[in-house]
Amino acid sequence: MRAIWKGSISFGLVNIPVSLFPATHREELKFHLLRSSDLSPINYKRVAESDGREVPWDQIVKGYEYEKGKYVVLRDEDFKRVDIEATQTVDIIDFVRLEEVDPMFFQKPYYLEPAKGGANAYSLLRDVLRETGKAGIAKVVIKTRQHLAAVKPLRKALVLELMHFAEELTDANELKIPEEKKPGAKELQMAKALVEQMTEGWDPARYTDDYTSALMKLIDEKVESGGKEIPRAPQRQKKTGKVIDLVAVLQKSLEQTGQAKKPEPKEQRSGGKKRTRKKAA
């Protein structure tokens, strides 16, 4: 794996040389726009809105619309005037209790790997953060853009998780959310029972991208058939969002999940041996 950034973590007079690696990866399926008659790829042209003429790249500038239909042009030298210096340093400003940070602020994680000479300080920071339950809140410049970020411990590693600035989050008060209403005792008891019945130990391998898998299967089938249409699968019945009797719905849910989790008859179990599910730690 190739490092996308090399620099250091800095807090107080401590400086830890590190390399930054992506902690996630996702390959989006890419589709091309084609002409249906001969599958010729469609290209885009840069066309001026006022006269419909194509505009070459050397005549294109960047503009900010400050009023409807009115723009101010920003050139390369303007961007350089406000450019944040890329110091290659994760400058920790504060340490905060991790439990106090709303998960909505977290955006994208990266692994931090200690560079030569930084192993001891790296381990020290990781262990201190783990034992105190805190995270280092920092600012870092990656690819010319400044980000808010948190330095957090994750098992043996330190993670740099990019965060949203406060002004980037939409205020939930703008949503039409009903006032809090205390549920009935029976509803609450049944809902708790349903949650307990559906509770499993955390295993991320249980959750997969069904849509992408199904789409890739369809693509493979179309390739093998020479592009012929594939018969449509039976359409699933859409779930209704209308709840008439909450208690009845909870009761039915409890029955269905209980039925799904019933152990198999002894004679159907592989090898006739009793299977036990490992409890979550």
Contact 126, 157 (CB under 8 A): yes
Q: Where are the domains of the chain?
A: 5-26+83-166
* pLDDT value, residue 162: 93
Q: Does residue 273 register a pLDDT over 60? A: no
Sign of CA dihedral 255, 258, 264, 270: positive
Q: Strands of the chain (E only): list them.
A: 5-11, 14-22, 62-67, 70-74, 89-97, 106-114, 134-142, 145-154, 157-163
pLDDT the model gives residue 270 = 47
User: Which residue has tokens 């940070």?
Assistant: 101
Distance CA 201, CA 123 (A): 29
Q: Does pLDDT of 269 surpass 60?
A: no
Chain Cα centroid distance, residue 20: 18
pLDDT tens across 136-194, in order?
A: 999 888 877 888 999 999 999 999 999 999 988 888 887 787 777 777 888 888 888 88
Q: What is the pLDDT of residue 160?
A: 94
Mean residue pLDDT of the chain comes to 80
CATH architecture of structural domain 5-26+83-166: Beta Barrel (2.40)
89 CB burial (10 A radius; 0-12, 13-18, 19+): middle
| Dihedral angle, C-alpha 8, 166, 107, 95, nearest 10 ° | 40
pLDDT at 281: 38
Structure tokens at 258: 């209980």
82 has a pLDDT exceeding 80: no
Instruction: Judge residue 250's burial from the number of C-beta atoms within 10 Å of its C-beta, 0-12 exposed, 13-18 middle, 19 or more buried.
Output: buried
Say what the pLDDT of residue 266 is. Answer: 54
Residue 236: partners with Cβ closer than 8 Å, 6 or more residues away: none
